[in-house]
């Protein structure tokens, strides 16, 4: 972008350190859903479909708050936008307290909706900093580092949730809970979410008072040109890229956030920490991507490999014997790890298949857009809404299929097949026929 930093700083280290912290917070709050979903399923005695609404309400916020968030940023600036996004997240954290006390499912869903809206505003404000706060030639490296931080938070969040909330209730997996036990488990959410809300509120104040330089605002008149949306959708590589990202986020969230619910169905006591396994595989995938792209692999080739791996793993998950522990005995138990079923670890390995998709699709989708890049980017961000619908269809399939939750992972197959189409042909299409 030609936009420049309007307030110069002698060094970009402090701004980047702040932005890195925000990416970690975003990842922490996002991937906490993987632990929260099975926990609420147990407390509120939800069906798989009802449990999937916890993720739906979080990710659907992106659909209707992405463009309003961009408008807010243009009005108040990037730094204030970050602070307001965190205030929204703080309010959401506080809403979990009455939700836990009353055990009203709709209130939990509303808290998730507010959390998603706050995160969308924060993401809309913080993402441009990654590209524009430092040299343009090193932007890709900064994006990868932020991705690692985001997914590393996904490793940590379930562990913190387990340590603070779940440790006292491990013996209740697979048992019918009394109302007293349900009340006790629900109340276990109060102090952790209160602490998180206060911490995020404190960080919002710090960001507002921080030395973060302001970024130059975009021209409202240019953004208001109604022809731009028509012009940008004339690029098939972008439109198909938005669809590819929609399907990608769908499978990413299924792999990261339903694994705990599936583990609960298998009677795994440490179900809340299972998201950490998927996120650890994603971090490994990011590192592999940094090392191999573009030195050894082109972006389309890396995307193709990811899609093929996703297809293979999806099929293996569905047909795997849940009483088989070959993978755990080979890679975990010898090093002191847990004895987990193959089907569960295959879901975690999807993190490896998913890691490269997001950074590979973006440049392919934005290729050739020129001045339309900003609105194209906004459309790509809206692809995050796939995170709302992927788990929803998984939940529906879990209830409708004789194969239950394990068989429901078959809903990922068409998603990976479309990503494969985009990697092989879709990104090359420059004109609608």
Distance CA 403, CA 265 (A): 13
Least confident window among 85-89, 181-185, 418-422: 181-185
What average pLDDT does the segment 21-32 reach? 87
Long-range contacts of 205-208 (CB under 8 A, 24+ apart): 205/83, 207/18, 207/22, 207/79, 207/82, 207/83, 207/86, 208/79, 208/80, 208/83
Phi, psi (degrees; rounded to nearest 5) at 338: -80, 155
Q: What is the pLDDT of residues 160-190, one digit of tens each?
A: 888 888 776 766 776 777 888 888 888 888 9
What average pLDDT does the segment 40-47 reach? 89
pLDDT, residue 7, reads 42
Q: Cβ neighbours of residue 313 under 8 Å, at least 6 residues apart?
A: 346, 349, 350, 353
Distance CA 75, CA 211 (A): 20
Q: Tell me the domain boundaries of the chain.
A: 13-212+227-427
Helix (H, G, I), strand (E, B) or coil at 293: coil
pLDDT, residue 9, reads 41
Q: What is the C-alpha R_g of the chain?
A: 21
CATH fold, domain 13-212+227-427, is: Growth Hormone; Chain: A; (1.20.1250)
Distance CA 314, CA 122 (A): 33
From residue 24, alpha-carbon distances to 44, 156, 170, 394 in Å are 30, 10, 28, 28
Q: What is the pLDDT of residues 150-166, one digit of tens each?
A: 888 888 988 888 888 87
pLDDT, residue 2, reads 39
Q: Are 253 and 230 in contact (CB under 8 A)?
A: no
Q: What is the pLDDT of residues 7-18, one digit of tens each?
A: 444 456 777 788
The model carries a pTM of 0.82
Distance CA 311, CA 412 (A): 8
Q: What is the pLDDT of residues 221-239, one digit of tens each?
A: 444 445 677 788 888 999 9
Helix (H, G, I), strand (E, B) or coil at 133: coil
pLDDT, residue 241, reads 93
What average pLDDT does the segment 346-371 reach? 87
């Amino acid at each position: 972008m030609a936009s420049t930093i309007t307030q110069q700083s002698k060094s970009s280290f402090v701004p980047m350190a702040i932005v890195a912290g925000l990416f970690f917070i975003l990842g922490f709050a996002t991937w906490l859903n993987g632990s929260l979903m099975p926990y609420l399923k147990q407390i509120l005695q939800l069906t798989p479909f009802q449990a999937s609404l916890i993720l739906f309400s979080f990710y659907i916020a992106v659909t209707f708050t992405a463009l309003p968030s961009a408008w807010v940023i243009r009005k108040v600036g990037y730094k204030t936008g970050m602070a307001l996004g965190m205030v929204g997240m703080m309010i959401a954290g506080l809403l979990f307290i009455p939700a836990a006390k009353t055990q009203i499912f709709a209130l939990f869903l509303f808290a998730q909706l507010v959390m998603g809206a706050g995160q969308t505003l924060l993401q809309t404000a913080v993402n441009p900093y990654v590209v524009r706060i430092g040299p343009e030639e090193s932007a890709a490296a900064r994006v990868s580092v932020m991705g690692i931080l985001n997914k590393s938070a996904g490793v940590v969040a379930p562990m913190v949730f387990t340590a603070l909330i779940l440790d006292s209730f491990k013996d209740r997996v697979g048992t019918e809970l009394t109302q007293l036990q349900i009340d006790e488990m629900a109340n276990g959410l109060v102090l952790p979410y209160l602490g998180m809300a206060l911490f995020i509120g404190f960080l919002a104040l710090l960001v507002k008072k921080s030395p973060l330089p302001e970024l130059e605002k975009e021209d409202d008149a240019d953004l208001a040109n109604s022809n731009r949306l028509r012009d940008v959708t004339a690029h098939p590589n972008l439109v198909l890229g938005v669809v590819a990202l929609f399907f990608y986020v769908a499978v990413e969230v299924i792999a990261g956030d339903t694994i705990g619910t599936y583990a609960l169905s298998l009677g795994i006591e440490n179900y809340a920490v299972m998201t950490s396994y998927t996120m650890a595989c994603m971090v490994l995938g990011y590192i592999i991507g940094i090392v191999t792209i573009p030195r050894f692999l082109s972006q389309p080739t890396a995307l193709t490999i990811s899609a093929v791996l996703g297809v293979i793993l999806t099929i293996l998950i569905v047909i795997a014997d849940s009483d088989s522990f070959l993978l755990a005995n080979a890679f975990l138990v010898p090093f002191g790890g847990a004895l987990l079923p193959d089907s569960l670890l295959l879901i975690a390995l999807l993190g490896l298949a998913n890691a490269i998709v997001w950074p590979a699709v973006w440049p392919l989708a934005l290729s050739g857009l020129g001045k339309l890049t900003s609105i194209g980017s906004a459309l790509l961000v809206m692809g995050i809404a796939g995170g709302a619908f992927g788990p929803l269809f998984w939940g529906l399939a879990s209830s409708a299929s004789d194969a239950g939750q394990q068989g429901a992972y078959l809903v990922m197959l068409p998603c990976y097949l479309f990503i494969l189409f985009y990697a092989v042909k879709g990104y090359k299409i420059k004109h609608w026929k």
